[in-house]
Structure 1
Amino acid sequence: MPAASKTNRQLFKTTWPFLAVVASLLALVATSLSIMSSVRAYIGGESTWSKGQKDAVFYLIRYAQTGDEAAFRQYESAIAYPLNLKRARLALEGSGPDPDLAIARQALLESGVDPADVSSVIWVFRTFRRASYFEHAVTYWTRGDALVDQLVETAQRLRIAKSAGARGQIDVERLTGEIWNLNSAIAPVSRAFADVLGSAFRKTALLLFGINVVVAALLVSLSVWYARRFITARLASEHALRRSEARAKATLGSIGEAVVSVGPTGLVEFINPAAERLFCREAESCVRHKLTAIVSIAREWDRRPVDPIGQALRGVEPWDPSTDLVLTNLQGTETVVQAITSVVHDTSDTITGAVLLLRNMTREREYVSNLSWQASHDGLTGLLNRTEFERRLSASLDAMSGIESAQRPRMLMILDLDQFKVVNDTYGHAAGDTMLREVASLFKHCLREEDALARLGGDEFAALMSDCDERTAMKIAERLRQEVSAFQWSCETHTLSTSVSIGLVDLRGLDMETAMRFGDIACYLAKERGRDRVHLAVRGDKELTRHASAMSWCGRIKDALANNRFCLYAQEISALKRADGPGESPQHPRHVEVLLRMIGEGGKVVSPHYFLPAAERYGLMSAIDRWVVRAVFATLARTGNPERVQYAINLSGASIGDERFLQFLTEQFDLSTIAPESICFEVTETTAIANLSAAARFIRELKKRGCKFSLDDFGAGMSSFGYLKHLPVDYIKIDGGFIKDMLKDAVSKDMVAAINDIGHSMGRLTIAEYVENEAILRALSTMGVDFVQGFHVGRPALWAQNVEFLEMT
């Protein structure tokens, strides 16, 4: 919250009682003035009423004596004032909750009441009509109006008598006497009305004076109370400040960042233990010295010296705190740091010193460097990975958009080892990994230094060759092919060899997607024509076009998504009874892994081995994952889950790192009646580690709902047990490569045992894949593995076909 806003809020909290009292006082004054003004108006109205009545009597007597019609008209004009006031009173006293205010206002104006007082007169009448003083006054007003009515009636009879001439003279004399009697009767009523209002005016003034005295006393009391509160708070603040200073010194001494405190002259007053370690000096030897005499600090990029303390004390604008600096101590040791300075002011805003915080960036640099390398390189071979290679390829193709750049030849080389699966199946994954490392080193030796070499996945490699025409690329590719064909290496008692099929593509005029597809096709044609050969993709080649159409899985995947041309298989994951412990094994819920298949032409079931690589390449994995989730949820909603089976659903790296996919899963759970405890999401180890923070957050969010998680293919990737601390998974799936070779490879068996033991020590259950015979099953049981999966346990079987998404589409 901004300081100004906080100050305003505190000021309001402090002053609101005063404001409330003052506002009440102002409201009281305004009301008092309104009442006084209305009373004054009523007294003025009484004066107008009395004058009109007296003038009316005077002109009537004159008319009676002279018979002058002008005198009678003057009478009518004078009597109009009391009659209008009567009309206003009757309008205000009208029956019903809404008196006729318009008639009352018009009558008051015609009676001579000042327009500025009309509203006040009406308000006082309606507000205080039933008050004792006012009701008493209105009673006199009503009596006066009755006498005026009699006067009006007498005037009419006088006019008739006067018009009769000598015959009516006796009536004229009698009526003249009645007029004088009415005048005598009206005068006391008028005086009583004025006396009542005057008395009310004086008592109201006295009451308002008393209220003002009370309010003034309240203001004085509030002032005294707030002054005492301020003094108490001031004393408490001083005491808290002294305690805060003591805690601050203790805190600075315990934090891991280097902290240096200097006085107004720039001399060091305090350094914490972290600064002592950074400077390689004791605090006593640093105090009362300039910081520049203890260490030197320079900008990393140009080694220009900087003085952060001096700049802070001079009020110079500080640099970006994220700027990296190099600190050199007296022993010559250099450390990359980031500096944050804070100037200390006293109450008069005078600079009394500065505090410098130095953050050692050594570990951060190493961590960022490792993460950056892992994000862009293959962990097995050390080459670029697919993501980084495609980024460089895309950047290179974007650079070819200029005319001059477009004329510079660039070639794409796709390399695929021949019969690599045979090596894996025959000699195990360890031998396969060794082969991949050896072949990668050989590829790098045969290519030029400026060529970018990457491992795309499995036994597939690629190279981006800049400033290289077709002829040169063919020579390099042929030499590389020959080197690989002639190369041999030993694996235990066996001598292994391999060959490579190479596809070449001229990148001019292509985008990244087309270039990669043409490279795959060229490599495929090299394999199709006998392997161990180089194939150059030539523009307009009908065979290339035909294979591009045949291998265009992207369109087939999109069609399958649009038309539900997928189906789901299920494979049992069985709980394993331990062979080395007494009694029965712990009871676990029944597990089933859901597997995806595509329905091809003619209803042929297509293995994911064929279309998932294309889906990963063209960014369709998240869409496929969404289809699978909806299909599983719809099927369970239709069939139910009476046996409380736990269904495992595989998720891709694209979905793990997509915030929208997490929102999609949340919506699916909200829309369905599926118990989250019955769903287990499987994430591969390489995917989780490549997106460690995103994967950890993804897992935590869904585990809050009750979902389970399994880390798939553990051991196939970076195999760091430390990552398990950051991934709150429930199951660890040991990579099938170790399981298949564990009976003939002691290293694989030890790896399985180590993964199982570490997983159990971390509270995770373990699952062994690729269990293909009874001997492996018994060995796993002896080790204490919790679950097993494989053809020996149960083959995948059709689980859901022709899926309808019901209300969850």
Structure 2
Amino acid sequence: MLFLILHGVLLAGLVVSLWDGIPSLVRQGPRRFARLAIILGVPVALLVVANLPVIPVPLGVTLVAMASLAYLEPDGRLLLGRLVALGLGGWMTELGHHAGDWPRLLWDGGWIFVIGAAAWRFRRQRRLLMAGTAVTVLAVSVLVNPDGIQDALVTLTAGILLLGYAANQLQRETALAVQTERANADALTGALSRYGLAAWRLQGPSPEGAVAVLDLDDFKWINDTYGHAAGDAILREFARRLKEACRREDAVVRDGGDEFSVWMPGGTEDDWASVVDRLHRVASVEPYPTPGRMVQMGVSIGWAAGSLTEETWQRADQALLDAKRAGKNQVKGESPVRVDLSHSPTRDPDGELGWLSDAAAILWHPWSEAAMLTNRAGTILAVNPAFEALTGLSRHQWIGYNPRRHQGGHTPQSVYQELWDTISAGRVWHGAMENRRPDGTRWWAEETIVPIRVGQDVVGYWAQVRHARPKPSTWQASVVDGTELDVVFQPIYRCPVRDLWGYEALVRPRRGDQAISPARFFSDAFHMGDGIRADLKALEAIARAVEQRSWPGGISLFCNIHPQTLGDPGFSAVEDRLALSVGRDQLVWELSERRLEGDEVFTADFWRQSLPGRRWALDDVGSGAHDLWRLWGWPTDVVKVDLTWTQALLAYPRARDMAGMLIEWVHQRGGQVIAEGIETETHWESVVQMGFDGGQGFWLGRPQPELLMKEGTRP
């Protein structure tokens, strides 16, 4: 009996060794040869062993091996070939042992056919296949077989080992497939991970194409304001929209955080530009649903054409940075786009802008922002594809006509008068007007119209147009009066003891239930010429919020402000309200680069003479192009280092060296330095080690409507 068990173990070991060994040996060879070796390896080996007098191969072992293949071979065509080869090998073995006994051979051949057909038919129902095979094999081994008991014992031993091996192998492969899928796909959005991208590239897409890198603008404030559940909902919806906008052969990858990339194999530059434009439209036009509200998001995109490699991705990422520096929510492409000029725009009747019409057709073609060119009479000479898509009219329907041809009818006449008075004087005009599409739908456009000069003469105008959402309720009041401002407070702590220093007051704009990015709100307001009123509205909202709370003694209040607002009569009134609540010596006015550009008239002498007795903070230092100028030209009571610099302290020695020099320089002048963007305990430890005076960030405390921590408390 022991010999029979060892006999079964030997046969099972032989089959398993061949199943594992042959694919490894032939993997590097020609594909056809490899498949042939996998199909014929086990049958040939069993035939050879069966002809040895000491190691007979019972038919039951062949039948069990056939059933086990249903567990091991996922390729349907290859499984069929292996079943046929193994069945023929088993029948030829029986032919060698029972030559001339045709009833026996027909009996055995019938069972081989039955098991082979069952393995093929029930390859997805493996438990049923295993049970049926066990009963059949034992019956075949015992019936019409003088050595039935011995064969049954050998077959039973080999069968247990073979089916156990097959089931275990299937379980391992299933687990590996699950782990591979998890590694290849982002769990939150379903987009490919960087590992998934590598696997996609190995599948052999066209080596040439284009890569687009996309980033949700101002995404961090969503998490800070509404929590990570809202941020996750936006990321899932963002990924879904990208997949819908892509071609079937494209790959959507989540590179990390709110940055995604789209890899586009094959195609032409026109194809890629079309896909990128579609990506921007679907990702930025409609608001995003989150728990309890709709949130409007902008999307910046950079793209580049070339080989589908990391180098092309890096060029696209650089284009994304250009898009963000240019104002966000736009597309920047590295690759030039070929433009068909066979239908060039109508020439300017005065002959002064014909050359510029052709140039505009080429330069504006890849823009995602809508643009048009007119002569000094207002006749349209050129539009770009984004303008056509926005308005619903082709360039042939626009060229030669005045833009007022499709006005909506609700824009006050005074707006048009102000427009012409402004641009006729050679100045840039910002404003909003209602328009009408061919299907009758009405929509509001935010427009910037810039005069074009040749020498001292205005010869035409170019305009940049975008859809204003939501619809303005009234002219000029659309941004400010149509927006509600909620106020939250983010704590700032002293280093190294982590005692409460103060709060930065932040506004969270919304229009109804739809949240608006603060950057978008102030940008739109200043774009519409109503920025000072937006600034004062924010300060009044902060003043009301502070008055409704019991402000802790000795705690500072940091407020953001535009320099031009300082000269408005309304500033003094709201400053007095804040000073009454928190103390004038605890008020700190923050000025960032995006609020200073173009205001060089405000010098250090101006601050000392015109605005004495106030404390000032330079915000976002390290993120702008004029930071050095701000440091020596503006007061430095407090310098707030931008989060990009704070988070770079851990990775870049030069960032630490420069931060050390800045801290020393500010301290020598009696100022203090606060690090923004402290997101982890490691960030805090590095800030303390560097000698910063204070810190602010999500790890220390997220923006909240209430003052959660009183004087002297710690998070």
**TM-score when normalising by structure 1:** 0.34
**TM-score when normalising by structure 2:** 0.37
Which structure dedicates a bigger proportion of its chain to helix? 1
Bigger radius of gyration: 1
